[in-house]
Amino acid sequence: MEANLEQTLQEGKIVRQVHALIVAYLRDNNLHQAAAAVASATMTPMTPDASPSRLLELVAKGLAVERNEASRGVSSAPVLNSVAGVAGSMSLPTNNIDFSAMHDIKGSSKTFPKHETRHVSEHKNIARCARFSPDGRFVATGSSDTSIKLFEVSKMKQSMLADSRDGPVRPVIRTFYDHSQPINDLDFHPQSSILISGGKDNAIKFFDFSKTVARRAFRVIQDTHNVRSVSFHPCGEYLLAGTDHPVPHLYDVNTFKCYLTANAHDLNPNAAINQVRYSSSGSMYVTASKDGSVRVWDGVSAQCVRPIIGAHGSMEVTSASFTKDQRFILSCGKDSTVKLWEVGTGRLLKQYMGAVHTQLRCQAVFNNTEEFVLSIDEPNNEVVIWDALTADKVAMWPSNHIGAPRWIEHSPTEAAFVTCGNDRSVRFWKEIL
């Protein structure tokens, strides 16, 4: 079974690489309509990490090998299998940490830089969730008061300067009201000025934050369950909803058609999904479930290809997300552990211990360089930071919230993060330079 799973993963990886090569070739030869059609049909980003000339290079090499083997009377099948094996083992280029090669590392840990923090706004009720835009320019927060606040990061930084000459800076640039129940999660469209939210009213709402006067959603998807989590595919044409249902709901953004996996019978019917997140290429997504499991799904077939049952024992998994290179998953659970998993094998690589979180739907996140892991200690009301490689605790900072934060979210582009919680407040943290 393990061999079959690895083969499935490798075949899926090859297919996704072929799709990326085709999109890159079409796009860079000014065949934008065709590129967009292929990208949409295969759920491939319109800006794949592939050279436009790479497809021609591979085809030329393949044809040369085929001609050479044919002239010697050798079947090309073994050669093609060999090429496929090499292609399947290729990984995305990355400058991030290779955790698998250093899982037993010992020695001195890095020092997490000092940060300063500021209360930047307050909801009328519990601040339940936060999300940065992919470019790090904006951050949105959702509340039990059913409102969404959109902040401009540059204005949050400006508000922290003591000598602002133009008077008080207001970092909240939009406030949206359109849910009838508390908001659970948010996400930004990868290319457009669109923000989506998922709420307890079973709705996914679309907001256009380019319009200064818009306060309500311009589109709504009405789901059948409480929408606990939302995540855009990197191409922006699809989104996932994690709900009280154990199966992720995949929606086509243009048609609102919902797709469900065919192997739902394998899932625990009580495994409501606390969080769902796409990988950076959209080739996979991960779910964190209330039954204590983490599951990896194929982004094309929507099949569960890597179930990690009991990832946090019988306790809820409250968050799960991929590293940028898609090789690892960071999860957090109500068993007061944060764990790092290898996607290809399901192997537990690291545990980050020493922070208690048993009550809130707490997050664990990497910083923007993936050198550190951040989470919350509830009893001590602290932000806890570990060295990602050594798993040593390197900092414990008072959160400055009244009661522990229930959500922490780090910027994808710089040394800055936000916390929000039951005290209704939103705090912005940035590195002291």
The listed CATH number (1.20.58.390, 3.30.1360.70, 3.40.50.720, 2.130.10.10) that belongs to domain 115-431: 2.130.10.10
Cα–Cα distance, 353 to 165 (Å, whole number):
45
Both tokens assigned to 99: 């955790």
pLDDT (average), residues 215-223: 95
Q: How would DSSP label each residue in 328-360?
A: EEEEEETTS-EEEEETTT--EEEEE-S---SSS
- Beta strands 194-199 and 183-188, pairing class: antiparallel
> Tens of pLDDT along 316-373?
999 999 999 999 999 999 999 999 999 999 999 999 999 999 999 999 999 999 999 9
**Residue 247, by phi and psi: left (phi above 0), alpha (psi -120 to 50) or beta?**
beta
Structure tokens at 203: 């709705």
Q: Structural domain boundaries of the chain?
A: 2-91, 115-431
Angle at CA of residue 357, ends 241 and 410, nearest 5°: 60
Mean pLDDT of all residues in 166-176: 87
- N-to-C CA span, the chain: 52
Q: Are 386 and 299 in contact (CB under 8 A)?
A: no
pLDDT at 49 over 90: no
CA distance 409 to 418: 5
Q: Specify the higher pLDDT residue, 263 or 325.
A: 325
Q: Residue 427: what residue type? A: R
pLDDT tens digits, 385-417 = 999 999 999 999 999 999 999 999 999 999 999
Q: Which residues contact 325 (CB under 8 A, 6 or more apart)?
A: 91, 92, 94, 96, 280
Furthest-apart CA atoms within the chain: distance in Å = 81
Q: Tell me the pLDDT of the chain averaged across its residues.
A: 86
Give the separation between CA 73 and CA 78, rounded to whole angstroms. Answer: 13
- Cβ pair 426, 156 in contact under 8 A: no
Minimal CA–CA distance to 243: which of 283, 287, 299, 207?
Answer: 287
- The number of residues making up the chain comes to 433
Q: How far is residue 314's CA from residue 100's CA, in Å, rounded to a whole number?
A: 26
